[in-house]
Amino acid sequence: MSISKKDRDILRELGMQIAEISALPVQQETIKLWKSLNGLNPVRPMVIIDQVPWHEMDVEGELTLKTEDSFCRSIETALRRRLYSWKHMRADMVVEPYVDVPKVIRGADLGIKPLENTAVTDPNNTVVGHQYIDQLKTEEDLEKIKIPQVSLDEDATAEIEEKAHDIFDGILEVRMQGIIPNFAVWDRIVEWHGVESSLIDLIERPDFIHKILSKVSEAYHSMLDQLEEKGLLGYGQGTVHCSGAYTDELPAPGFNPRRPRAKDLWTYGMAQIFSTVSPAMHQEFELDYAVKWYERFGLVYYGCCEPLHNKIDIIRKIPNLRKISMSPWADQELAAEKIGFDFVFSRKPNPAFLAGDSWDPEIVEKDLRKTMEICVRNGCPVEFILKDISTVRYQPQRLWEWADVAMKVVQG
């Protein structure tokens, strides 16, 4: 089905704005700064804002969609958000002269979906509470976990590729993107087995947990094998888990953009449910399985919201590790002493500062400067990744000011 002239004109205009911004010298300057940080030789700390409550952010119609075709609307959403971020909360984002269009890939799942009850406080917000229903009560239930059967829907992919070229040729490069997978298996397991059941079974049914992990790990590796063999991995990452991914170390020698390999890519992983699990259990029920995944990739970002300050000794043994997440609940002093010069201290400032009844930029600045002081004293390369922003209380200017404060702190 062809694109209407109206939709095409709207997207081409947005694409021209992206192209103009991408040509600014600051883009290459910022990429160079990210490469320095990711090479553990930082010029200064870097800043990114991601996972924004977009339903609260519109100002004067900047995010209002004007196209009608569903494919066009998905592209328009991404372009308008890039332009909005560049205008209002730029930080160290990079705007490049391309538009990524995902290939239509079927079967890249494990055949089991969450059953849950949800709690909603704002019907416009995609962030909701989850109560997961246990579907893995017995060993027989493990048969619900299937080995993926990955395939490319060639006709559907060709159709959207033709549409994208019709819209953007002469303005932006169209990159047909595959999947860039991660190893957040515990995020999936708790969706199927429940949070409480999973934690209790670590103690009461450890053999059962190992069987779940073995089955899930087998499925993940099979999926990765198929994505590699069929040329369905993505490439050219600008970010990894909300962090800047630019590096001179990737892709690996022999890279072919038509058939990317795991070793050409960053990957990431986490075990957020393990926030209060001991280092020994974290090793046995997470890292002993995850290490086989990380061995296959070029570089690794590890962690998310779980505090990892007392687990650096085991985490630093992850193959190809480059960045370690430092959540708002981490003891920064302990972590920085252990990390030193060896990895990027990927600090996640607390998004709760943006969610309160009142907004105080001075509290944000004080918090960021505390992290800076700790990292300077311990020689840690550091980045600030503001994410998981569930609300700014419908005051988008809070986020704009956060970006200004953060850049003032890191630029000295």
**Strand pairing category for 46-49 and 382-386:** parallel
Q: CA 213, CA 230: separation in Å to the nearest integer?
A: 26
Q: CA 205, CA 285: separation in Å to the nearest integer?
A: 12
Q: CA 300, CA 172: separation in Å to the nearest integer?
A: 30
What mean pLDDT do residues 145-168 have? 97
On the question of pLDDT at 203 being above 90, the answer is yes
What mean pLDDT do residues 11-28 have? 98
Find tokens 């992850």 and name the residue: 318
Q: CA 198, CA 192: separation in Å to the nearest integer?
A: 9
Measured CA to CA in angstroms, residue 388 lies from 34, 35, 124, 246, 349 at distances of 22, 25, 16, 22, 10
What mean pLDDT do residues 148-161 have? 98
What mean pLDDT do residues 158-162 have? 97
Find tokens 């990955």 and name the residue: 150
Cα–chain center distance at 233: 16
For the segment 316-347, what is each residue's pLDDT rounded down to a tens digit?
999 999 999 999 999 999 999 999 999 999 99
Q: Other CB atoms closer than 10 Å to residue 123's CB: what's the count?
A: 7
Q: Grade residue 70 by pLDDT with cuts at 50, 70 and 90.
A: very high
**Strand pairing category for 266-269 and 243-244:** unpaired
Q: CA 257, CA 176: separation in Å to the nearest integer?
A: 10
Q: CA 285, CA 292: separation in Å to the nearest integer?
A: 13
Cis, peptide link before residue 381, omega less than 30° from 0: no
Cβ–Cβ under 8 Å, residues 396 and 56: yes
On the question of pLDDT at 220 being above 70, the answer is yes
406: Cβ contacts below 8 Å, ≥ 6 apart: 47, 91, 349, 364, 368, 384, 386
What mean pLDDT do residues 353-357 have? 96
Q: Residue 117 has what pLDDT?
A: 83
Cβ–Cβ under 8 Å, residues 403 and 365: no
Q: Other CB atoms closer than 10 Å to residue 129's CB: what's the count?
A: 10
Q: CA 400, CA 142: separation in Å to the nearest integer?
A: 47
Q: CA 178, CA 235: separation in Å to the nearest integer?
A: 8
Cβ–Cβ under 8 Å, residues 368 and 385: no
Residue 287: CA count within 13 A, CB half-sphere: 23
Q: Residue 1 has what pLDDT?
A: 60
pTM to 2 decimals?
Answer: 0.96
